[in-house]
Amino acid sequence: MKARLWCLFLTAGCLLAFPLMGRAQATSDGNLPQGFHHLEFKVDGVTREALIYVPLRAKTTPTPVVFVFHGHGGSARQAAASFAMNRHWPEAISVYMQGLNTPGRLTDPDGKRPGWQKEIGDQKDRDLKFFDAVLARLKQDYKTDGKRIYSTGHSNGGGFTYLLWAERGDVFAAVAPSGAAFREVARLKPKPAMHLAGEQDPLVKFTWQELTMNAVRKVNGCDREGKPWDKQCTIYPSKTGTPVVTFIHPGGHQFPKEAPALIVKFFKG
């Protein structure tokens, strides 16, 4: 039964992407908040879009970067509003990439809504290639701090964060997936990680997420008992210096309003 549930969860929300970059161009949008830019990229001949927030010092001072991925059916604008990294960590560059219409596993099997690839090779790895293009552009245009690059996302976006950890792990200092599960944990290398999960999640079942969290703690060498870290948060110390923090809330699949501040606290730590 557990094995069957595990397969079904995969149907739900993991992601995938792969390499190569195209040209990028900044465009103006009067509706964007101050400090935000709209970027367009050509990746394998397809126009891709991203919103980025850039602090003034990013041209002259090594600056951390946070990538944020929306869930299936979401948008870069929604992610910018709900994660609001520009408010919680205004000293960092925050990047909100826009997914393309993608078939889902738990919902939207016809792919009428935007999302992210679910595994390596899916959608010809278009989203991994998109990520590579955006990161290359940021390094070209700004003084990014290569030791402080992070990824977070909710649901399908959390799954994609796990996929990036597996495929681009050397890029990141830490990751913080939310409302997601990942079956190929064995491909992960130790990395500080925070996982956010709702105990009543009706879509990506808490049981599936619990399997992922337990497996991640094993990968990260967290062989000691957890201790309180913040409200509803537990930290599991690691002998390899790669702790795991879990934020378990009593809700469902929604992204908790307390989450952004906790994610930033974890990344800064």
Q: Is the pLDDT of residue 134 over 90?
A: yes
Q: Give the per-residue pLDDT at 122.
A: 87
What distance in Å separates the CA atoms of residue 175 and residue 165, rounded to the nearest whole number? 7
Q: Give the per-residue pLDDT at 111.
A: 80
Q: Cα–chain-centroid distance for residue 169?
A: 12
Q: Give the per-residue pLDDT at 205.
A: 97
Q: Backbone phi, then psi, for 220, in 5-degree steps?
A: -85, 5
Mean pLDDT of 55-68: 97
Q: Give the per-residue pLDDT at 102.
A: 85
Q: Give the per-residue pLDDT at 105.
A: 76
Q: Give the per-residue pLDDT at 30.
A: 55
Q: Give the CB-side neighbour count of residue 246, counting CA atoms within 13 A.
A: 24
CB-CB contact of 178 with 162 (8 Å): no
Q: Is the pLDDT of residue 23 over 60?
A: no
Q: Give the per-residue pLDDT at 12.
A: 36
Mean pLDDT of 76-82: 96
The whole domain housing 35 covers 2-268
Burial string for 142-175 (b: 16+ CB within 10 Å, else e) reads bebbeebbbbbbbbbbbbbbbbbbbbbeebbbbb
Mean pLDDT of 183-192: 94
Please state the pTM of the whole predicted model: 0.88
Q: Is the pLDDT of residue 176 over 70?
A: yes
Q: What pLDDT, in 10s, does the model give residues 256-265?
A: 999 999 999 9
Q: Is the pLDDT of residue 29 over 60?
A: no
Confidence of residue 11 (pLDDT cuts 50, 70, 90): very low
Confidence of residue 10 (pLDDT cuts 50, 70, 90): very low
Q: Give the per-residue pLDDT at 5.
A: 37
Q: Rounded mean pLDDT of the chain?
A: 89
Q: What pLDDT, in 10s, does the model give residues 80-115?
A: 999 999 999 999 999 999 999 988 777 878 888 999
Q: Is the pLDDT of residue 63 over 50?
A: yes
End-to-end CA distance of the chain: 39
Mean pLDDT of 220-241: 95
For position 235, which CATH number holds? Answer: 3.40.50.1820
CB-CB contact of 64 with 93 (8 Å): yes
Q: How many domains does one find in the chain?
A: 1
**Percent of the chain scored above 70 by pLDDT?**
89
Q: What pLDDT, in 10s, does the model give residues 38-47?
A: 999 999 999 9
